[in-house]
Every structure is written in structure tokens, then in C-alpha cells.
A and B are shown apart, each in its own frame.
Chain A
């Protein structure tokens, strides 16, 4: 993974000093709360329902074991001994003391970490495929692109005060595991007919209250032009994006207002003045960065490990886990695996300090000392020998990290919701718990098969409910928590925004609604059909009919009460 040189380190060290000075001036009464606010947000510090929340950047989800140990130490020293992974592959601490945050950043800087631009109206953490570098379906490794973008976006002087936050994701595999079409800018790394590397640029995607999928801005942009072209995109947005209404300030609104052709024309006109300037990426620089992501020293192994095969046959629980949590790898004899943070009774994405240390130990022992965080809020060990999967599984089990539910109903993406977030209209963790209680039979969850169920506590959609097969959105009706259901959302190459099925439900109805949806699928499915396939074949209407049968729902679904959208928007951001 990327290692800082003295320049990178100085930049982050200087940032800590800058923040320390700002906080000291604030505490001395020389910097008002309003003037501090955007500054602390761009250092990851929010003020939430119960107090401060500190969001730490994990660039494109890549984390070294020693960094994870530092996070564990910070969580014990400055927080309550746990953290929460977000859908931007970051980690949040929910209980730091306001005045401790400069020290937290100081500690992070000692292990090449920071909280730069994890909030605020600026370019946020670049996200990518959690199987980058190891996925069998990968065209190339997206991480050098991500790191180049991280550096380009870090303290970009022109774009620190955009109309709204700006999220970029990069994919370089045949399947899209980074949901790039739900980003302000999505980049698809590819090669043109001449064999030249570049990216397809998508723009104007995003979830939130106006979910939109990104549109193609440029079919092919040569790699060398990546940074200058993005400067042009951001400049057009910075100048012309709306600033009068927080809900209409994302780039998607500008793109829709202008139309993609006109937006593209303006970008090209701006780019004409930037193209071929000093920002043109050199091959030397690309190679310098890419060298940090060179494959580790893999052993030469046979494609199939006989012991692993035997263990799969003899241990049903291990086989069940392997089926969901072990993934293909481009190197023979290796696998990547997911440690599930979706255990019943634990808020999705939460990890304790003890678990962090144990994962760090597993990474050191079995996976070249590195882990990744997925946007689905799980932890990945990317380079494990097949022959060692059994040992990892046993250790993970002892730590409660081996729930065999990846890609299944209980592998929910879930925001912190009303328990922690000041914007939420409703709690989301309690809904996740209720779903877990209802579907507590793992064999049945396996039988249901591939499905996604995501939960957001408000329209800001941190829980990605729009792109889930079953989406649950918390809404407020006269001070009560209600939940709106969407169906048919998908992530990946076939990304789709789900449809609202009708009037919302009270919290206690939600488990029955989910049961009805699942039962309908189970009754109607044909062999090999996933939930989404059956839904596509039969249409939403049938599912809707079943769900509302016997329920009186005369009043129309009211739109979600306006959440206090602000820069303080919490999670997964």
C-alpha cells in the first residue's frame, strides 16, 4: 500500500498543527463556533446528537495492520473502545471529547493517517473496489488512480468550499463493487482500442433525497489528462452549482438543469485552457505511485488446496462460511475473505478495539499485514492462502467475526440513525436488529440467497437504501418513526434506483413486511432465481399487493419530513 515520503508526512503533520492552532483559538474565544465549523468538518469533526463524532479517513478502504492497531488504541484512549465503519470506507468514533480531537489527529499522523476532508463541502474520501489488486475480474489495479486522486484532492486550494460535498469512486473491474454510478464523479478505468489506459467519466450520480445514476460525461479520457479534466469538472461545478438551496446543491442538480450535453460542453471549454499543462500526469509519476501497490510476494501454490477441499467437506459450518465469505483471487491457491461486521445484536459496521487488534493480528499472520474496509461496512483480508482459511475462520469465530452472511439478507448496510445522528428522522439500528431477530435462522437466510437490504434513517440516504433490493427509509410523521419501503434497487454494473412501493409502515410492522416480501419470493422463485430476478420477472405490483393485503392504508404516503440537512450530515459519508 501507499507509504508516505517526507513530503506526504510533512503535509499531514502541518495539517495537525494547523488544526491544533484553530482549536486552541476557538477554546480561547478567538475563533467563533461558526467560523470554526467548516474547519473542523474538514478535519472530520461533527457535533452530533450526543456530542462530537470524529470521522477518520481510510483512503479507498486500505488499512495496514499497524494502522488498525492505532485505531484500536485511539478507541480505547479517547472513545468507548469501538468504532463504526462507514459506506465511504471510513471509520467513525462516536464518543470523543471535543478538545481531544487535535491529539487524535496527532496520533493518527504517526501512522500516516488523518481525517482530511472526511466532511465538509469538498472532495471526500476516494472510494474503490475492496478487492482491488486481487479480484479475478479486474482489468487493472484501481488503487494508483485512487492515490493520485487523493493527493490531487488533498487541500485543493480552489475546491475547499464547493456548493456541497463531492464524492468520487473508481472501479477497474468487470463488476462494479464501488457503486460508481451513485457518485458525483464515477471513474471506470479502461483501455481504448489503441491499448492506452484511461477512464470513462460518469458525472451527476448520487443518492440522498434526489437519487440519480451518473451519466457518461466522457467515454474515454486518457490517463494523463485525469487531473486536469477533473479540475475542469470541479471548476464548472464550483462556479455554477447552486448555492441557494442545500438540497439542490449537488452536482447532479446542475447536470440535470443544464443537460449532460451542455454540461459536457462547458467542461470541455474549461478544459481547453487546462489540458496539456503541468497537471498532465507523467508516466513516471503513475509508475511511482503504482509501485506502492505492487503485488506482495505470493507463494507458488496449486490452484486448489487439498486440505481446504477436505475441510469444506468435513465441516458444514466452515463450508457455509466459505460459501459466503470466501472470494476468488487472481493468484492460484489464494483467496480473499470477508470478516462480517453484521452479527445479530451488534450495530452493522461496528467493531470493538479487541476485534480490531485481532483482525490486525490475522492480517499480519495470514494476509501480508493489510486489510480493506468495504463500503458494505465489512472487513476484508485480501490475500489468504486457501490452506490457511480454516485457521483464520477459527480465529475469526472466536471474535464474532465469522457470521456467514455476506451478500445475504442480514448483511445490511445501515446508518447510525436516530440513536446517534442528529439528522435522522427515525432509528435504523433497531430496524436492523428486528430484521436479525426475525431472520435468526442462518440456514434459512442461506436458502433465501443473494439479496440486499439497506436501511437509512433519513432522506440523506447514508444507508444506501435506494440501491438495495429492499430499501428501508426512516421518515417522521408527527413525531413518530415510520418506514418507507423501496424495491428493486441494485448496485453494481446494473445499478438501479429502487421504487417506493406505497405508504409507509410503523416500526413494529417492518419485520412482517420483510417476511411477506421474502415469502412471496420463496413461493414464486424459479430454480437459480435470486430475489431481484423474481422481482424483475413478476414485477413490483405483486409484491406490493401481498404486503398491503389486509392492511388499511388509506392515506397517501407523506413525503419524508424535511431533515435538517447540513454539513453535519452523519455517517457513511
Chain B
């Protein structure tokens, strides 16, 4: 079973990732019976059925797919995975923050695709808590890279208060 980092622990990946094969449309793709991260198109096609199936549900969004499209489904989603086609495609950082801060999504947000250990720090700050790293990445090393920069100026998901609201004031210092 593939490994992933979830909440800063290396664990077995209990989800399958379904990417539609080249030339296969959502209509042609049978729904899997095991816990699977579904592409947006498949979710949209089977939404009514899936919403009432009672199984844990997961969707993955590509970097150009907007979180707004799954907003109504968030309460029943166990996992939202955000795909990085290239690690330099930064759109999913915004997607993650929107999921957490605008929609208050509490489930797992997982980074998938070209996910490298040197981006974990930023990814975590944006509210991503599970990481399915590129296969060549060293997971043990990865665990040490979440806090390479120990203090942050900005507020984000992991620490909503910017540094200026946490710096001891002169009187207290």
C-alpha cells in the first residue's frame, strides 16, 4: 500500500486515486466500489447517487478546477485532494486556504501530484494536512521539513494571527 504523510505521520494510504485514462470520458468510467478520490467530472456525473451512498467520499481537483464547484458537497466529503501538475503551479495554495477559511472545511485536504518536501512548509500553512508526495521523495526527511522556518509573518490557516498580533508589545517585553 502506498504511503502518505497525514498530520505529520507516515501512514498507509487508504484511498485509491482515480485519474481518467486518456480518451476515457466520465460516462465511460465505472464507479469504483472501494474508497477512491474521484475526478471532478465523475463526481458531477454521479453526484445524486454518491450523495446518498453512505460511503466515505473523496474528490480530487486539478489546479485549474475551482473549489467553488464542490462547495455544496463539502459537508459530506472526507477528503479533498488538490493536484499539483507541477510543483511550481501555485493555484492549489489558494484553493486550500479557501476550503479552510471561506468554507470552513474540516476534512482532510491532501496534496497530490508533483508534491516535494521543500514545499511542505507552505502547503501546511495553507491548510493542507495530508501529502501524497512524488514517489522519489524521502518521507522521513519530509517529516523534518514542516518547520524549516519556525516563525511566520503572515496569518494563514495553521496560525491565523500574523506576527504583528503575536509580537510581545514593548510594555510587556
For window 117-172 of chain B, which residues contact chain A by CB distance below 8 Å? Answer: 118-119, 121-123, 125-126, 138, 148-156, 160-165, 167, 169-170
- Tell me how far the C-beta of A196 lies from the nearest C-beta in chain B, rounded to whole angstroms: 20
B152 engages A279 (CB within 8 Å): no
Residue A156 is within 8 A (CB to CB) of chain B in the complex: yes
Residue A92 is within 8 A (CB to CB) of chain B in the complex: no
- Tell me how far the C-beta of B69 lies from the nearest C-beta in chain A, rounded to whole angstroms: 13
A35 engages B149 (CB within 8 Å): no
Interface residues as binary, B102-130 with A (CB distance below 8 Å gives 1, 0 otherwise): 10000000000000101101110110000
B153 engages A154 (CB within 8 Å): yes
* Dominant SS among interface residues on chain B: loop
Complex formed: what's the CA distance from A182 to B73 in Å? 43
Tally chain B residues at the interface, Cβ within 8 Å: 39
Complex formed: what's the CA distance from A35 to B163 in Å? 30
Residue B75 is within 8 A (CB to CB) of chain A in the complex: no
Interface residues as binary, A139-159 with B (CB distance below 8 Å gives 1, 0 otherwise): 000000000000110111111
A157 engages B163 (CB within 8 Å): no
Contacts of B118 in A (CB 8 A): 22, 31, 35, 39
Interface residues as binary, A19-38 with B (CB distance below 8 Å gives 1, 0 otherwise): 00110000000110001001
Contacts of B122 in A (CB 8 A): 155, 157-158, 160
- Tell me how far the C-beta of A419 lies from the nearest C-beta in chain B, rounded to whole angstroms: 29
Stretch at the interface among A3-11, A127-135, A323-331, A409-417: A3-11
A235 engages B149 (CB within 8 Å): no
Contacts of A35 in B (CB 8 A): 87, 116, 118
A157 engages B167 (CB within 8 Å): no
A285 engages B151 (CB within 8 Å): no
Contacts of B156 in A (CB 8 A): 157-158
B161 engages A155 (CB within 8 Å): no
- Tell me how far the C-beta of A85 lies from the nearest C-beta in chain B, rounded to whole angstroms: 26
Most A CB atoms within 10 A — which of B122, B153, B156, B161?
B153
Instruction: Known contacts A11-B151, A151-B153, A157-B122; decide if A38 and B97 are in contact (CB<8 Å).
Output: no
For window 45-97 of chain B, which residues contact chain A by CB distance below 8 Å? Answer: 66, 87-91, 93-95, 97
A157 engages B153 (CB within 8 Å): no
Contacts of A154 in B (CB 8 A): 153
- Tell me how far the C-beta of B107 lies from the nearest C-beta in chain A, rounded to whole angstroms: 20
Complex formed: what's the CA distance from A156 to B95 in Å? 15
- For B84, the closest partner residue in chain A by CB is A161
A14 engages B150 (CB within 8 Å): yes
Complex formed: what's the CA distance from A239 to B102 in Å? 15
Contacts of A279 in B (CB 8 A): 154-155, 162
Residue B12 is within 8 A (CB to CB) of chain A in the complex: no
- Tell me how far the C-beta of B54 lies from the nearest C-beta in chain A, rounded to whole angstroms: 32
Residue B7 is within 8 A (CB to CB) of chain A in the complex: no
- A-contacting residues of B (Cβ < 8 Å)? 66, 87-91, 93-95, 97, 101-102, 116, 118-119, 121-123, 125-126, 138, 148-156, 160-165, 167, 169-170
Question: Can you identify 20 A-B contacts, CB atoms within 8 angstroms?
Answer: A7-B167, A11-B151, A31-B118, A35-B116, A151-B163, A152-B154, A154-B153, A155-B149, A157-B121, A157-B126, A158-B122, A158-B156, A160-B90, A161-B87, A161-B88, A278-B155, A278-B160, A279-B154, A279-B162, A282-B164
Given contacts A11-B153, A157-B93, list 11 more A-B pairs with CB under 8 A: A14-B148, A38-B88, A121-B88, A152-B154, A157-B122, A157-B152, A157-B156, A160-B122, A161-B88, A243-B91, A278-B161
